[in-house]
Amino acid sequence: MNAPDAERLVLGIETSCDETAAAVVRGGRTVLSNVIASQHDLHSEYRGVVPEIASRAHAERVLPVVRRALADGGVALRDVRAVAVGNRPGLIGSLLVGVGAAKGLAWALGVPVIGVDHVQAHLVAGCIGPAGAEPGPVRWPALGLVVSGGHTSMYVCDSSTRAARIGATIDDAVGEAYDKVATILGLPFPGGPELDRLAQTGRAHRPGFPLARIAPDSLDFSFSGLKTAALYTFRGVPESPQARARREARGEPEHGPTMNAADVAATFQEAAVSAVVLKVQRALDRRPDCRVLLVGGGVSANSLLRQRLLAIGEARGVEVRLPRMEYCLDNAAMVAALGHAILAERNWRGDEWSMTASPSTAFCAGPAGAGAP
Ligand code: KG4
Ligand code: ZN
């Protein structure tokens, strides 16, 4: 237990939704291995994640995935100095599988176990890399943006463990909107990446789908209206029999579909990305002391979002930390990295053995630092 912080190996475990993942990270930033077993094939026929199926698959896969992560990293189990696990938020049955595995391993090894917040872990995804390609230290404070299937929020971060939320979605998360529009367009599950690909073959119509106007200075997001706009343009505007009769009496034509799938995808993508970018610009205007933008979550893999955020960074002289593709989606490397940072702050004192899973996040629900452990 006497290795310096920069040498300590943390095993990360992530089972919050439908990826079973394990990783070994050295010194909180060097990723020695990053194994992700996706369950997409198990859930695709239901077009969404089925919690019961997910938990069972995690139970079958978690230890083989851990073993693979140790082997890939060339690490012996006895060299692991702590075990970090995503224990909130997520599907409770899924989270409990990871928590049980993490506690069992930590107990057997006599090392600390730490439960970390999955949303917070996405914020450190741009601060890790394989040996020799680790990003440098962050200049704090930084603006943080999490864009995933369950969350869309912005934070002002004073360190990788301390943050204050400054904006969040008031309805759907941006990834959720991607997945729902993909379903409308008949794309395979999970739809976000498919929609991103289709959008590149389409033409974004002008003026495009309307962006939600919450309040002139708000940093909150809203994506549910874009979903409706996509539905109506692709399938046509639904009509009651009375409305149809009135329209026919006026001799007006039916409001049928007005765009093909590729153009809907491109128009939706343009609107969704513009909505995120608008709020990021507004937050950077408000917090000129933030010279770094940390980005994380599955939608940070989106081609247009990456391009637009990099352009903002370039124009403003702000360093944009986009995660490498393998750390955008749910992964355990970000969990291990955050676990390391929290443990280093606590002098490597882990959680109590009674630590358990929670379906919700308390990360930054209140004032500055409120969600930080
Ligand atoms: O972070 P993540 O793996 O899981 C959550 O914590 O929610 O994010 C998954 C989300 C899904 O909604 C998925 O469709 C979306 O990220 N996603 C994308 C892309 N790749 C993944 N959305 C848009 N464009 C992409 N390229
Ligand atoms: Zn996630």
Phi, psi at residue 350, to the nearest 5°?
A: -85, -170
For residue 190, which atom of ligand 1 is closest to its CA? Answer: 14
Q: Which protein residue's CA is at the shortest distance from atom 22 of ligand 1?
A: 192
Q: How many residues comprise the chain?
A: 373
Q: Which protein residue's CA is at the shortest distance from atom 2 of ligand 1?
A: 298
pTM surpassing 0.85?
yes
Distance of CA 173 to the CA centre of its chain: 10
Q: Which residue has the tokens 């629900």?
A: 365
Mutate which of 147, 180, 329 for ligand 1? The one with the most ligand atoms within 8 Å of its CB, which is 329
pLDDT at 372: 34
pLDDT at 47: 84
pLDDT at 332: 98
pLDDT at 365: 63
Task: Please tell me the distance between residue 148's alpha carbon and the centre of ligand 2 in angstroms.
Answer: 6
pLDDT at 333: 98
Q: Are strands 292-296 and 319-321 parallel, antiparallel or unpaired?
A: parallel
For residue 192, which atom of ligand 1 is closest to its CA? Answer: 14
Task: Please tell me the distance between residue 179's alpha carbon and the centre of ligand 2 in angstroms.
Answer: 14
pLDDT at 368: 38
Query: Could you tell me the maximum CA-CA distance found in the chain, to the nearest angstrom?
Result: 84
- Regions of the chain where pLDDT drops below 50: 1, 366-373
Does the CA dihedral 125-131-136-138 come out positive or negative? positive
Task: Please tell me the distance between residue 173's alpha carbon and the centre of ligand 1 in angstroms.
Answer: 10
* Residue of 160, 82, 85, 81 lying closest to 115 (CA atoms): 85
Q: Which protein residue's CA is at the shortest distance from atom 20 of ligand 1?
A: 193
Task: Please tell me the distance between residue 108's alpha carbon and the centre of ligand 1 in angstroms.
Answer: 35
pLDDT at 2: 58
Mutate which of 146, 299, 307 for ligand 1? The one with the most ligand atoms within 8 Å of its CB, which is 299
Q: To 10 degrees, what angle do helices 261-286 and 191-199 make? A: 100
For residue 150, which atom of ligand 1 is closest to its CA? Answer: 7
Mutate which of 148, 152, 180 for ligand 1? The one with the most ligand atoms within 8 Å of its CB, which is 148
> DSSP of 145-179, one letter per residue?
EEE-SS-EEEEEESSSS-EEEEEEBSS--HHHHHH
pLDDT at 363: 84
- CA–CA separation, 42 vs 275, rounded Å? 33
